[in-house]
Every structure is written in C-alpha cells, then in structure tokens.
Amino acid sequence: MKVSNQTQLSEFLLLGFSEDPALQPLIFMLFLYMYAICVIGNLLIILAILSDPHLHTPMYFFLANLSFSDICFTSTTVPKMLANIQTQSRAISYTGCITQTFFFIIFAALDDFLLAVMAYDRFVAICHPLHYTVIMNLRLCVQLVLLSWAISVLHALLHSLLVLRLSFCTHLEIHHFFCELNQVVHTACSDTFLNDLIIDFATVLLAGGPLAGILYSYSKIASSIRAISTTQGKYKALSTCASHLSAISLFYGTSIGVYLSASAAPSSASTAAASVMYTVVTPMLNPFIYSLRNTDMKRALKRLLFHKRLWNPWFWGSAVSLTSCLKPQNQTP
C-alpha cells in the first residue's frame, strides 16, 4: 500500500491508563476536575495581571504568558482524552494525532523557554537592580516572548514534517493518553533513524539550553544574595525567586521523571501515568505556586474576584493588551 493511502486511512488507538471499564468514570472525573482547576486558575492569573496596575511589570508579563501557555498545553491533550472516555472510543485520526503532537510540542517548548526568560528577568532584577527598568524594557520583553514562540513553532514543525514522511502499518496502538511524539514515531514500519536522531538532538539543545541558562542565572543570583550584608535583605531577594524556583523544580523534576520512566519501559502504562505530572498537574499547580506566597498577586486576585466588573460582560471586551503590562516601574515584584 502506498504511503499516501496509509496516512489517509490510518488511525491511532490511545490505550490510556486502564482498559477496566469500572475505572473509566473515575479517570474521567479526576481529569475533568484537574483540567477545570488548571484553566480557571491560570485564567484568573491572567485577568488579575491585566486588571491590576501594580502587576504591570516584566515579571508578571512573562507570568501571564506562562499561564496562557499552560492553558493551551493542557488543552491539547485532556479534552480529547475526556471525549474518548465519554464516547467509549480510543481512536484518534491520523490528522488529529499529528495536529495534537504539533501543538503539544509547541507549548511544552514554550513553557521551557518562558521559565528561562523569567530566570533572566530575576537575574537582572537582583544582580543589576539599578538598571532593571532600562534593561527589561517593553521592546526586549516582547522580543523575548516572540523569540520563544518562533523557536517553539519551528521546533514543532520540524518534528511534524519528519513524522509525515513515515509510513505506518497496522499496529497503531499508543500506550499513552495522547499522541506523544516518541511513541508515534515508534509505531511506524519505516526507518525512524532520522526521527530518533533529531528528537535526541532537539532534546539536548532545546531542553538543555534553557536549563543551562536557568542554572547560570541562579548561580549569579546566589552570589549576589551572599554578598548582601543583612539577613532581611537576603530574605527579601530570595523571596522574589521562591515561586519561580518552585515552578522550575516541578517542571524539570516531573519531565526528568517521565524521561527515566520512558527509558525503563517505553511502552508501559506507567509512562502515561508519569506524564500526567508535567502535562496536567504542573500547569494546574502553577497558579497556586505564584499566588499563595505572593502578596501582590493575592491582593490582585481578591480585588478581581470581589469586584463587580468581573461579572460585567463589558469587562471582557475592554481588557487591555498584555503588552501594556510593561509600564516602567521603580520596584520589581
């Protein structure tokens, strides 16, 4: 059969977590609640940043972009899984699978780059506080976000085009709840050497690069904090990084855990269970991480939730652009 005919007729089967029908309602409700919390929590973060002038700073601009990315990241996988459980189907079309993989790669990479950009922002704020507003200006912040988007899209496009060149046979079962790139590639019956090579190279370059930038930034931040003479000054400087450090630890910790799990058992359902941590749990917890210990964010959320304009339809149409969140401030968050 020709490759073109195969790709038109093929569909993948997402095996998910369990084939036990008794567990399907429990899995459905669990993921529905987590997805709802993720979307609502991150949406509130975005609205709070838009509505509060005190949060119109570069750090919160990047945080709003991270929250938007987290909503999209989770939305590429969970709704399809919920729909499959509801319809008692495991199928996803060939086109749907490639599309899901494409957008999943975009937002996974975007999260990675935004965390690195936020680390750079903290580096400038703590190591060069007098020049912070000059360095982290509107133009640079927008350029950093656009660059993160551009690299993420090109990265996803490269992998998607490489998958399109593969031919697939009859065994199209994916031991996952979404079309994970590595497992999609390994269902092909044609040679996947080039795909595997590019996946490994991109993982080292696009995951290792931002991580190296984060480690470098925080090594300089640690040196600057040690040089502060007062305990109160050290605590204040460290507290501005606490939320970001927690988000980084959660993102990279769960990602490394998934990688090790996949290396030990590439086709195991345990890999799918481990992937839930960074695909669903981490985006769900980020709003709590950035709000529970952040006085400014808690105040903005309280003002937002109890302000009558939140429930006014005109509010949604009059929300300002995220780029307006970069008015010069004398203090960093």
Residue 67 within any structural domain of the chain? yes
Categorize the per-residue pLDDT at 211 as very low, low, confident or very high, splitting at 50, 70 and 90. Answer: very high
% of the chain with per-residue pLDDT over 70 = 85
Find out whether 17 and 82 touch, Cβ atoms under 8 Å: no
- Say which amino acid occupies 44: L
Residue 4 binned pLDDT confidence (cut-offs 50, 70, 90) = very low
* 188 inside domain: yes
Q: Which domain holds residue 234?
A: 11-326
Q: Which helix (H) or strand (E) holds 93?
A: strand 91-93
Domain count across the chain: 1
The pLDDT confidence band at residue 298, using thresholds 50, 70 and 90, is: confident
Q: Is residue 6 part of a domain?
A: no
pLDDT, position 331: 41
Judge whether 216 lies within some domain. yes
- What's the CATH number where 191 sits? 1.20.1070.10
Residue partners of 162: CB distance under 8 A and separation at least 6: 194, 195, 198
pLDDT digits (tens, 9 = 90+) for 160-173: 999 999 988 776 88
For 150-205, the pLDDT digits (tens) are: 999 999 999 999 999 998 877 688 888 999 998 899 888 888 999 999 998 998 89
Distance CA 116, CA 9 (A): 41
Q: Rounded CA gap, 285 and 288, in Å?
A: 5
Determine the Cα–Cα distance for residues 119 and 136; give it in Å rounded to an integer: 12
Judge whether 299 lies within some domain: yes
Q: What is the pTM of this model?
A: 0.87
The secondary structure of 180-224, three-state, reads CHHHHHCCECCCCHHHHHHHHHHHHHHHHHHHHHHHHHHHHHHHH
Most confident region among 60-69, 80-89, 300-309 by mean pLDDT: 60-69
**36 lies in a domain?**
yes
Residue 225 located in a structural domain: yes
CA dist 75 and 94 (Å) reads 19
Looking at residue 247, its amino acid is A
